[in-house]
Structure 1
Amino acid sequence: MFYEPAKGHGLPHDPSKAIVAPRPIGWISTVNKAGEINLAPYSFFNAFSTRPFIVWFSSEGEKDSATFAEETGEFVANLVSRDLAEKMVRTAVDAPRGVAEFDYADLTMAPSRLVAPPRVAAAPAALECRVTEILRPKALDGTLTSAIVVAGEVVGVHIDDAFLKDGIFDIAKAGNVGRLGYMDYASVSEIFSMHRPRWGKD
């Protein structure tokens, strides 16, 4: 089949998120100037630079994570492991502002070193970030979309030593969780390696 997204797909459910998958989940913790703490998962999340180390998450609409990050200039991206998946989903609840998702999902907070937002204590890894820019993407016709893209430079990295093996982060042991389409998720359980070719050496 072929379809133009602006004209509709004619399927029972939108396949876009299933096609662009799996997507890593940024479990974003933020705090506003009043001290209110927010924790929410974002599947529009990734890294796009290593030097400097920069990650981003995209909020579809004015949600607390983007609002708080814009207000204070900081956020933490927590890694979702397989054993935390169910608690991660609980933090996606449409709770009113002021409700502590950490408490709602029975999660323990741990202090960050360089930023104000706490991190998820049980997460195998967490990235402390300072906001570098906030983008509001435009559609082809020039109108603003509802998306708010928050980019942040990673200023501190926490890794649970239990997930380090010979100096390498054990992704399979953590079972990194990714978002698929619909209500589906995936967890890393199998890893294979391939080396890029070098011109003239193969």
Structure 2
Amino acid sequence: MQSVEFDLDGTHRDKAYSILAGVITPRPIAWVTTKNEDDSTNVAPFSFFNCFGSCPPLVIFAPGNKEPGTPKDTARNIRRQREFVIHTVDATVAEAMCQSSASLPYGQSEIDTNQLTLVNSSSISTPRIAEAPVALECTEHSTIEIGSNRLVLGIVHKVHVRSGLMDPDSCRIDQRSYQPIGRMASPDWYCNTEKLFKMSIT
């Protein structure tokens, strides 16, 4: 099979984001709330995100910089507050998630412009979005900076799941009801999870 090679150490160094974001898909979306200094709530989506362990429950996402040397509001708020809430995204909140990625002046809340409802979290002071199918209350374990990359490692303390999506006894998700959307290539591509299939080890 023939292939085309892309050199991320040389010729294609400045295209690394578009190449990697185009081929490593679909990616789950972390829709993150944090508290601004004036106590307003910031919300922003990030698709460099996943779960990386269960003991302790560990999630990682990567809020980059607005511009070189200037962290995004989410990263600034987490460094100060040491807490955040990660929400997953389905079709019911997809448009609000997309619009919340627009740049706003610091302190102006995307919650108001997208008509979202905030409710109190159980274990942290940062509120969660009531309309989201899943919310993970997290505290910052650490933040690692590698070059211009910033990795936020969070410990999950509480998980809120919309009623009807998970059996409270077995703790098994109902795959027919839970249909999160995923991130595909930038800037505007997403995917849904309506068509699933099972594959078993023989």
Q: TM-score higher than 0.5 here?
A: yes
Partner Cα distance (2:115, 2:89) in 1: 15
Partner Cα distance (1:188, 1:73) in 2: 32
Structure-1 residue corresponding to 2:7:
4
For residue 135 of structure 2, what is the amino acid of its counterpart?
Answer: A
Matched, 1:185 2:190: yes
- Report the CA distance between 1:116 and its aligned residue: 1.0
- Report the CA distance between 1:32 and its aligned residue: 3.5
The answer on whether the counterparts of 2:31 and 2:89 sit within 8 Å (CA) in structure 1 is: yes
Structure-2 residue corresponding to 1:100:
109
Task: Report the TM-score, using the length of structure 2 for normalisation.
Answer: 0.86
Structure-2 residue corresponding to 1:35:
39
Partner Cα distance (1:93, 1:14) in 2: 19
Q: 1:128 to 1:4 in 2, by over 3 A?
A: same
Q: Deviations over 1:103-136 (max 9, x none)?
A: 1111111110001111110111100001000000
Equivalent residue of 2:164, what SS? helix
Equivalent residue of 1:136, what SS? strand
Equivalent residue of 1:162, what SS? coil
Choose from 18, 24, 31 the match for 2:28: 24
Partner Cα distance (1:58, 1:32) in 2: 18
Choose from 129, 149, 152 the match for 2:151: 149
Structure-2 residue corresponding to 1:56:
60
Q: 1:37 to 1:3 in 2, by over 3 A?
A: same
Partner Cα distance (2:102, 2:111) in 1: 11
The answer on whether the counterparts of 2:36 and 2:107 sit within 8 Å (CA) in structure 1 is: no
Structure-1 residue corresponding to 2:199:
194
Partner Cα distance (2:102, 2:14) in 1: 29
Task: Report the TM-score, using the length of structure 1 for normalisation.
Answer: 0.86
The answer on whether the counterparts of 1:32 and 1:69 sit within 8 Å (CA) in structure 2 is: no
Equivalent residue of 2:95, what SS? helix
Gaps of 5+ in 1: 138-144, 197-201
Gaps of 5+ in 2: 66-70
Q: Deviations over 1:129-186 (max 9, x none)?
A: 010000001xxxxxxx222111110011101122125752234423201111121001
Question: Where does 1:162-173 land on structure 2 (aligned, <5 Å)?
Answer: 162-164=164-166, 167-173=171-177
Q: 1:33 to 1:82 in 2, by over 3 A?
A: same
Partner Cα distance (1:83, 1:20) in 2: 25
Q: Deviations over 1:45-102 (max 9, x none)?
A: 1110111111011011100111101111000001101221111001101111111111
For residue 5 of structure 2, what is the amino acid of its counterpart?
Answer: F
- Please, what is the CA RMSD of the aligned residues? 2.1
Partner Cα distance (1:3, 1:82) in 2: 34
Choose from 67, 88, 106 the match for 2:97: 88
Q: 1:107 to 1:180 in 2, by over 3 A?
A: same
Equivalent residue of 2:18, what SS? coil
For residue 191 of structure 2, what is the amino acid of its counterpart?
Answer: A
Q: 1:3 to 1:87 in 2, by over 3 A?
A: same
Question: Where does 1:93-132 land on structure 2 (aligned, <5 Å)?
Answer: 93-132=102-141
